[in-house]
Amino acid sequence: MSEAPQPAHPSWIEVDLGQFRRNVGLIRSFIGPTRFCLPVKANAYGHGLRAMGLAAEAAGLDYLGVAHLQEGVQLREAGVTLPILVLGAIHADQIPDFIRYDLEVSVSSRFKADLVASACERLGRVCRVHLEVDTGMQRTGVRPGTAVELFAHLRDLPCVEVVGIYSHLATADLPGDPFALAQIAAFEALLRDPVFAGVPLLRHLCNSGGTAHFPQAHYDMVRPSIMVFGYPPEQAPGALQGLAPCFSLKSKVSYFKVVEAGQGISYGHTYVTSRRTRIVTVPVGYGDGYRRALSNRAEVLIRGRRFPIVGTICMDQLMVDVGDAEVRVGDEVVLIGRQGAEEIPLVEIARLCGTIPYEILCQFNGRIPRVYVG
């Protein structure tokens, strides 16, 4: 069993930075000289924004990606010096702060381009921008048909420095996906336009799925995130098979009682004991982001064995039926991750909730402390 640090809070998210570095190393070897951008939006997929930003910088990454101004500001205030790219559309009234905090922004309209230009002139600073092109996601980005014109406009703006051009894949999770191939073809057709000839731009397209399955589209930089945290897409190439999660959700048994047969457990008595049994309480609940939908469905690990969560999960606590197992107050409980030879994989929890691992990771809030090991 792991020698967990003893945080003040009875439950914690444990992030294994050693595993994170191993994941970075594996992906680094896989992508070769291509630049490596790690999107750390949504609190670095629940792993903790500041700590992961600093860990990424220490691990030699080239770029970080964020979704919002505030995420970029927090990284800068934590001392991160890597280039930070704000992915997606930017809000007009935040432009001066993007520039002040030295954040690179995505531009996908002439209107925003001009706002960026007038803000950087006013501040007397250069703003580095990436032209975002929509090749089929239908989210943000200028259409390829207008990208050339917008690029020519951006190039001529004073104090705006165009450093990159990128797009985003909608269906890259399986190898050979025809729509992903069509997006790659559209991106390359655009880049063949003479306006880009000889212009040193960082060309980037690939999220995790793209990075794993479409190495021909790595170009100058890739932007994988979920797989850097240890969750590669299905059918990932052998070179990426060593990726492993660095996230665990852990707690400790806080209470123990013996319950007779026929007793209802927790709110609404959605579970009734069929025999005399031992019920333990674990101080994790939906108030931490551990979904109530997992009531009477998920299992946890205690002393290296699986036991079922019984009854409705409460805001701060949940109950586990340990049968006649010898379980004591203070025993470590693993809700997501490994304990001994057993594992509750994140994907199992996501499947029980009818969602994807991304959403489960993001929903853990600030009440549970992050503890960094390795």
Extract the annotated binding site. 139, 315
- Shortest gap between Cβ of 168 and ligand PLP (angstroms)? 4
The residue with tokens 């991750």 is 337
Give the gyration radius of the chain's Cα atoms: 24
The long-range contacts involving 188-197, CB below 8 angstroms and separated by at least 24 positions, are: 189/144, 190/133, 190/135, 190/144, 190/147, 190/148, 191/165, 193/148, 195/148, 195/151, 195/152, 196/151, 196/165
Alpha carbon distance 107, 89 (integer Å): 7
150 to 179, contacts with ligand PLP by CB under 6 A?
A: 168
Write out the H or E segment, with its range, that includes residue 71. Answer: helix 69-77
Grouping H, G, I as helix, E, B as strand and the rest as coil, residue 275 is coil
**Contact window for ligand PLP (CB under 6 A) among 156-164, 185-193, 220-228, 289-297:** 220-228
**Contact window for ligand PLP (CB under 6 A) among 155-163, 221-229, 273-281, 329-337:** 221-229
Helix, strand and coil percent figures for the chain, each rounded to 5: 35, 25, 45
Q: Which of 39, 53, 141, 232 binds ligand PLP (CB under 6 A)?
A: 39
Alpha carbon distance 111, 351 (integer Å): 42
**Contact window for ligand PLP (CB under 6 A) among 69-77, 223-231, 327-335, 338-346:** 223-231
Is residue 208 near ligand PLP by the rule CB under 6 A? yes
Q: Which residues are bridge partners to 179 per DSSP? A: none
Q: Active-site residue 267, yes or no?
A: yes
DSSP 300-317: EEETTEEEEEES---SS-
Is residue 226 near ligand PLP by the rule CB under 6 A? yes
Which residue lies nearer to ligand PLP by CB, 166 or 290? Answer: 166
- Shortest gap between Cβ of 51 and ligand PLP (angstroms)? 18
Which residue lies nearer to ligand PLP by CB, 232 or 285? Answer: 232
Q: Active-site residue 286, yes or no?
A: no
Is residue 183 near ligand PLP by the rule CB under 6 A? no
**Contact window for ligand PLP (CB under 6 A) among 219-227, 264-272, 297-305, 363-371:** 219-227
Which residue lies nearer to ligand PLP by CB, 63 or 307? Answer: 63
Q: Which residues are annotated as a binding site for substrate?
A: 139, 315
Q: Which of 223, 250, 252, 291 binds ligand PLP (CB under 6 A)?
A: 223
Is residue 224 near ligand PLP by the rule CB under 6 A? yes
Q: Which of 55, 87, 236, 335 binds ligand PLP (CB under 6 A)?
A: 87
Is residue 207 near ligand PLP by the rule CB under 6 A? yes
Measured CA distances, 161 to 40, 120, 255 (Å)? 24, 11, 60
Which residue lies nearer to ligand PLP by CB, 316 or 359? Answer: 359
Q: Are 180 and 171 in contact (CB under 8 A)?
A: yes
DSSP tag of 116: H
Q: Are 309 and 296 in contact (CB under 8 A)?
A: yes
Is residue 46 near ligand PLP by the rule CB under 6 A? no
Q: Are 353 and 291 in contact (CB under 8 A)?
A: yes
Alpha carbon distance 58, 52 (integer Å): 10
Given 63, 219, 267, 271, the catalytic residue: 267
Q: Which of 23, 225, 277, 312 binds ligand PLP (CB under 6 A)?
A: 225
Determine the distance from the C-alpha atom of residue 17 to the mean position of all C-alpha atoms in its chain, rounded to a whole number: 15
In sequence order, what are the residues at sequence separation of 6 or more whose Cβ sits closer than 8 angstroms to the Cβ of residue 72? 66, 84, 86, 98, 101, 103
310 to 339, contacts with ligand PLP by CB under 6 A?
A: none
Active site residues: 41, 267
Kindly list the residues in this chain that would bind ligand PLP in the complex (CB under 6 A). Answer: 39, 41, 87, 168, 207-208, 223-226
